Structure 1
Amino acid sequence: MAEPAPNEPAVEAEPQAAESSLFDGRTLGHWQITDFGGQGNVYVKDGSIYLEMGNDMTGITWDAPLPFKTNYEITLEAMRVDGSDFFCGLTFPVGENFCSLVLGGWGGTLCGLSNIDYYDAANNETTTIVSFENNKWYHVRLHVRPDRIQAWLQEEGEEPLVDMDITDRKIDTRAEMDPCQPMGVATWQTSGAVRNIHMRRLVD
């Protein structure tokens, strides 16, 4: 390779993209309809993925390799369209394991992680209560590190909705959510929608 001429700055290679878009707003792409049995319709409309109410669950599952298993951030927007239970059950990798962030479950207001030491979001220390409105978009941000899982709802302020030290804890998903591994979004007897799904590496 020729050396740069004197006084001519060397051209550096562009860094790898720090953020990956997981939804182009037009097609499902690598999102496959999750075979829960009894699931509702799934379709793309107006830049969003709609998950219609199922009996009991409707969801989507990522079917391609994920760029990260830890030290990453997922951001997305989620909305409850109809119903009164969880409209965003986000399943995600935690190293070689998996976990789910539940928003609006158990009658519509309960949030948390399922599972921690075999206990679901309704029965572990991540339980949080939030009142959600139908047809309102909520901005979700999730951080996964080897020793900690954190999640924020922009509408709830700067404090994390979930801030869980997972050192020496057993992390897994409820059996109902297993079909969403390695990553997916599901609803329970509820119609929901998601959009603007992104994933990026966290650099401390």
Structure 2
Amino acid sequence: MKSYSLTLKRTQIPVLAALLLVLASCTGNPKTENRTTPQTKSAEPGWVSLFDGETLNGWEVTNFGTQGPVRISGGNIVLGMGDGCTGITWTGNFPTINYEVQLEAKKITGNDFFCGMTFPVAESFCSLIIGGWGGPVVGLSNIDGYDASENETRTLKKFEHDTWYHIHLKVTPEKIEAWINEEKMVDFATENRKLSIRPEVELSKPFGICSWVTTAALRNIQVKPDLQAGH
């Protein structure tokens, strides 16, 4: 069995040392990588990517009138802090029932919701709020006229700054479900319930994502349409 050895010339040693230094700088603890490394990825089978990691193709910056700047940075969509909502609205076709959405979001500065996702439910609309009302509230706005801080979908969760959270939404004729990092946060049966949205996010319809007085980042936005056909 052959063995291979590497003999370095004296002039190659500084080059190798520099290469090792670069490789070492790329290897950090998982928490640091979670905070800083762009990880835009291709959509999994059955999923359709809504963000290419480089442009806002298919999106428009939502003209709330209170918005901060929106930009692409490091493979992420950054929603700058405004005086109210800052967000993006999808301009293409979007399913209305029997679909799933997944994305990753993080809070950079500020202490309110860093992901307010407005979405269709058949002929109605609703919003999934992540980190609202001072930071901890997760829930649906609105249910029978009550927002996420006042209805039965309200739960509390601590959200760290500069930490990515995986958000997964599923909409069927029977219910709305939502998970954060695989933890089920919403399991709401919609029969005989009135769904609506707050006036502040009216411009997010049919599908949009925004933050409230908070700088946030989004990546890996994907939709899986027509669940009945796929299952």
TM over 0.5: yes
| Matching residue within 192, 196, 206 for 1:172 | 196
Distance 1:96 1:170 in 2: 11
Which residue matches 1:162?
186
Q: How does 1:162-201 map to 2 (within 5 A)?
A: 162-201=186-225
Any unmatched runs of 5+ in structure 2?
A: 1-44
More strand by share: 1
- The SS at the match of 2:106 is strand
Distance 1:62 1:116 in 2: 24
Q: Which runs of 4+ in 1 moved over 3 A?
A: none
- The SS at the match of 2:151 is coil
TM-score, normalization by structure 1? 0.88
- Alpha-carbon deviations, 1:75-121, whole Å to 9, x = none? 00000010000000001111121110000000000010001111100
| Matching residue within 110, 129, 141 for 1:83 | 110
More helix by share: 2
Distance 1:38 1:70 in 2: 30
What's the CA shift for 1:123?
0.6
| Matching residue within 43, 49, 71 for 1:21 | 49
Distance 1:172 1:47 in 2: 32
What's the CA shift for 1:176?
0.6
| Matching residue within 165, 169, 173 for 1:142 | 169
- The SS at the match of 2:223 is strand
Which residue matches 1:11?
none
- The SS at the match of 2:161 is coil
Distance 1:97 1:182 in 2: 10
| Matching residue within 73, 77, 85 for 2:100 | 73
TM-score, normalization by structure 2? 0.78
Q: How does 1:29-178 map to 2 (within 5 A)?
A: 29-66=57-94, 68-154=95-181, 157-158=182-183, 160-178=184-202
Distance 2:119 2:135 in 1: 21
Structure index of larger Rg: 2
Which residue type is aligned with residue 182 of structure 1?
Answer: P
Which residue type is aligned with residue 60 of structure 1?
Answer: I
Alignment RMSD: 1.1
Any unmatched runs of 5+ in structure 1?
A: 1-16
Which residue type is aligned with residue 137 of structure 1?
Answer: W
